[in-house]
Structure 1
Amino acid sequence: MQIIRFRGENSKPQLAARTTEGQLYKLPFKDFIDMIECARRKKSTPLTLVKGILRDSLPVGRKLDELECLVPIEAEEVWAAGVTYEKSRDERNYESSGGKSSAATFYDKVYDAKRPEIFFKSTKKRTIGPGETVYLRSDSNWQIPEPELGLVLDHKGEILGYTIGNDMSCRDIEGENPLYLPQAKIWRNSCSIGPAIRLAESVEDPYRFQIICRIYRQHTKVFEESASTSQLKRTYEELCSYLASENMIFDGTVLLTGTCIVPPSDFTLQDGDQVEIEIPGIGILRNPVKSQINQSLEVK
């Protein structure tokens, strides 16, 4: 079961459920968190609550690609885990060692350490949804998308659902000095999530998600690679427990779980590119890329 938000009547956001058969049903909640809170009051689970509503409802009669989908949840905070895949460790070593891919660094230590790398990624006002533009930093010459599975959490750090995340990254800034990580990861429109939230109860095995990333330039596919969450070094519960330890977690917090899809070392995103991240069972997150950040843009 997928939960989406789309622009409905009078341009107001509308929450909806999408079944495995592809049928859409409107939900009587203002947003995802409102739905979760209702399930708590009723001492129900989110999936049971939604199924009960669908039994007494009629489908919308429109297809998903006919709707203007919005970010599925306006998360107060988005966090991310790093070096959770072997490929990520190797690429971080490559960045920080000046292209000497065999050189070992502190990334090897964190890959094998008990404590994972978890860092702050984005806020509600910095996070965008499907179809919105991701920006490139003007002070970086080596920028890539990082396709990741996102965990949607409750205030206890328990997993409510799964979504797709694009953790935009500046490889040259991070590679120059690890203390530059916030600048390499956080800027306007540097985080995209969507297009849906797959309710956790409806996922048989969350370690069997396939992640596919495609990049298009002038309508030509210039990159495609896929991976599986089965390649994760750490468990979701392990990552969530460290995020929640000694921390305040908000309902709807998103934790991105790391990437193992990295374009070649000579590749960087360019103005006009389009990034497409697909996780079957969740959907396809598409975002155009823009090189110039217009500082006059109003904050969302």
Structure 2
Amino acid sequence: MLLYRTDKGAVTIQDGQAYATEGEWDDLVNDDVLADRLASVVENSVPNPALLNAIHSPLPPLVSQEIWAAGVTYFRSRTARMEESEVAGGGDFYDRVYAAKRPELFLKATPHRTVGTGQAMHLRKDSKWIVPEPELTLAVSSKGKIIGYTIGNDLSCRDLEGENPLYLPQAKTFDRCASVGPALLITRDPLPKETTISLTIRREGAKVFEESTTLANLKRSPEELVEFLFRDNSHPKGCLLMTGTGIVPPDDFSLRPGDMVEIHIEGIGRLVNTME
């Protein structure tokens, strides 16, 4: 099932049918048995075809939730981080964290710094090397249970992070630095390792980059990342957790205003944003 946040309220989609879903968003995403709750909605409600229009322009699937992120969870990310920070002498840190017991975790964005599909993301003005990072994103309840999955774009300034690892907060967190959506995939089961994540970038209508990976390349399990995130760190409204990227554009590529970034994850949909 897919759960959308819309201007008409929460909407559950099952088998192409739309169902009005009662409850405030913060309450829904902190229900540890949300899959059962939505299954009951589908079983005991009449579909509302009018709500299908609402999901074409969904709101970001968060209200009070922070977005956190994990880094260097794919070998491709490890290699890219080592290359960009080699001159500054920080490359060894990324090699070590890839193999370390403790993962890299950081606060990515708050709700007011986050956009949804169809909205514009912001290219930081003091960076000259900015790339999208397509990431499976976990929806986690206040009790630390993964209740669903969505798509995330962790917009990143590679030149700032490469200059000095201590610049990570500035490289990662700024206005409209994160995009999530279009919906939450609500399921009781973990996603298959064969699940594909793909990234396409278009410039003036022409495709300038395209690549895919699968969850089989994710070094750490979602459950492991959540367990570390919740150590002595409470999330009373739940949170979203980006799980890292396995796709990195070439070193000579940087996003420009007007570029369109599309991220697709099987079973969830497409997250599409323009850059400005």
Q: Same fold judged by TM-score > 0.5?
A: yes
Please name the residue that 1:72 is paired with.
Answer: 61
Post-superposition Cα deviations, 1:128-170, rounded to whole Å, max 9, x if no partner, equal: 1111110001100000000000011111222111110000000
Distance 1:241 1:204, change over 3 A: closer
Task: Tell me the SS of whatever aligns to 1:200.
Answer: coil
Deviation of 1:285 after TM superposition, in Å, equals 0.5
Please name the residue that 1:123 is paired with.
Answer: 110
Please name the residue that 2:231 is paired with.
Answer: 245
Post-superposition Cα deviations, 1:231-260, rounded to whole Å, max 9, x if no partner, equal: 111111111111100111233301100001
- Which residue type is aligned with residue 252 of structure 1? G
Deviation of 1:184 after TM superposition, in Å, equals 0.2
Deviation of 1:99 after TM superposition, in Å, equals 11
Structure 2 stretches of 5 or more lacking a match?
none
Question: Is the CA contact 1:164–1:193 (under 8 Å) kept in the aligned structure 2?
Answer: yes
Please name the residue that 1:23 is paired with.
Answer: 17
What is the aligned-residue identity percentage?
A: 44
Task: Tell me the SS of whatever aligns to 2:105.
Answer: strand
Distance 1:131 1:185, change over 3 A: same
- Which residue type is aligned with residue 35 of structure 1? L
Cα distance in 1 between the residues matched to 2:143 and 2:239: 10
- Which residue type is aligned with residue 221 of structure 1? K
- Whether 2:245 is the aligned partner of 1:259: answer yes
Please name the residue that 2:82 is paired with.
Answer: 93
Question: Is the CA contact 1:159–1:200 (under 8 Å) kept in the aligned structure 2?
Answer: no
Deviation of 1:104 after TM superposition, in Å, equals 5.3
Post-superposition Cα deviations, 1:8-61, rounded to whole Å, max 9, x if no partner, equal: 3xxxxx100111x22211111232x32255x56xxxx21121111212222222
Structure 1 stretches of 5 or more lacking a match?
9-13, 291-300
Which shifted more, 180-189 or 53-62? 53-62
Post-superposition Cα deviations, 1:103-138, rounded to whole Å, max 9, x if no partner, equal: 952111011111110011001111111111100011
RMSD: 2.0
Task: Tell me the SS of whatever aligns to 2:208.
Answer: strand
- Which residue type is aligned with residue 136 of structure 1? L
Cα distance in 2 between the residues matched to 1:86 and 1:65: 39
Cα distance in 2 between the residues matched to 1:25 and 1:199: 14
Taking structure 1 as the reference length, the TM-score comes to 0.87
Q: 4+ residue runs of structure 1 moved beyond 6 angstroms? A: none
Question: Is the CA contact 1:207–1:230 (under 8 Å) kept in the aligned structure 2?
Answer: yes
Taking structure 2 as the reference length, the TM-score comes to 0.94
Cα distance in 2 between the residues matched to 1:254 and 1:206: 20
Distance 1:208 1:252, change over 3 A: farther
